[in-house]
Amino acid sequence: RPFVFTIGEMLVEIMRPEVDVPLRRTGAFVGPYPSGAPAIFIDAIAKLGIGAGIVGCVGDDDFGLCVRERLSSDGVDVSQVRVCKDKTTAVAFVNYFASGDREFLFHVADAAAGQIRADQLKREWLHAETVLHLNGSSIAINEAVRQICYEAARLVKECGGTITLDPNVRPELFTRGEMERLYGPLLSYCDYVIPSRGEAEWMTSSETLDDAAAQLFELGVKAVVCKRGADGCVLYTPDFRLESSAFDVQVVDPTGAGDCFSAGLVYGLLRKWEWPTILTFANAMGALATCKQGPMEGTLSLSEVVEFIKKHGVELA
- State the nearest-atom distance from the C-beta of 268 to ligand ATP, in Å: 13
Which residues make Cβ contacts (< 8 Å) with residue 177, sequence separation at least 6? none
Cβ(235)–Cβ(277) below 8 Å: no
**Binding string, 236-265, against ligand ATP, x = CB under 6 A?**
----------xx-x-x--xxxxxx-x----
Nearer to ligand ATP, 46 or 126 (CB): 46
Q: How far is the CB of 246 from ligand ATP (least distance, A)?
A: 4
Least gap, CB of 228 to ligand ATP (angstroms):
5
Per DSSP, the three-state class of 242 is strand
Q: In this structure, are residues 304 and 266 in contact, taking their beta carbons and an 8 Å threshold? A: no
The answer to whether 120 contacts ligand ATP (rule: CB under 6 A) is no
Residues with Cβ < 8 Å from 134, sequence gap 6 or more?
Answer: 6, 7, 8, 149, 152, 153, 163, 164, 165, 166, 186
Q: How far is the CB of 124 from ligand ATP (least distance, A)?
A: 30
Least CB distance to ligand ATP at residue 61 (A): 26
Pick 204 or 283: Cβ nearer ligand ATP: 283
Query: In the 8-state DSSP scheme, what is residue 254?
Result: -
Binding flag, residue 230, ligand ATP (CB under 6 A): yes
DSSP single-letter state for residue 162: E
Choice between 64 and 256, CB closer to ligand ATP: 256
Check residue 5 for interaction with ligand ATP (CB under 6 A): no
Closest to ligand ATP by CB, 31 vs 264, is 264
| Interface segment toward ligand ATP; rule CB under 6 A; list 87-95, 179-187, 212-220, 222-230 | 222-230
Distance between CA atoms of residues 59 and 55, nearest Å: 14
Closest by alpha carbon to 183, among 242, 136, 248? 136
User: Three-state SS for 262?
Assistant: helix
User: Minimal CA–CA distance to 301: which of 46, 47, 4, 71?
Assistant: 47
* Residue 228 in contact with ligand ATP, rule: CB under 6 A: yes
In the region spanning residues 75 to 114, those forming contacts with ligand ATP, defined by CB under 6 A, are: none
54 binds ligand ATP (CB under 6 A): no
Applying the rule CB under 6 A, the residues between 286 and 305 that interact with ligand ATP are 286-287, 290
Report if residue 196 touches ligand ATP, rule: CB under 6 A. yes
Q: Which is nearer to ligand ATP, 3 or 261 (CB)?
A: 261
Q: Are 73 and 131 in contact, with CB atoms under 8 Å apart? A: no
Cis check for the bond before 32: say yes or no (omega within 30 of 0).
yes
Applying CB under 6 A, among 32, 161, 232, 268 the residue interacting with ligand ATP is 232
- Residues in binding contact with ligand ATP, number by CB under 6 A: 22
DSSP line for 181-218: HHHHHHHTT-SEE--BTTHHHHHHT-SSHHHHHHHHHH
> Cβ neighbours of residue 167 under 8 Å, at least 6 residues apart?
136, 183, 193, 194, 195, 196, 199, 200, 203
C-beta of 204 vs 255, nearer to ligand ATP: 255
Min separation Cβ 279 and ligand ATP, Å: 9
Chain contacts with ligand ATP (rule: CB under 6 A): 196, 227-230, 232-233, 246-247, 249, 251, 254-259, 261, 283, 286-287, 290
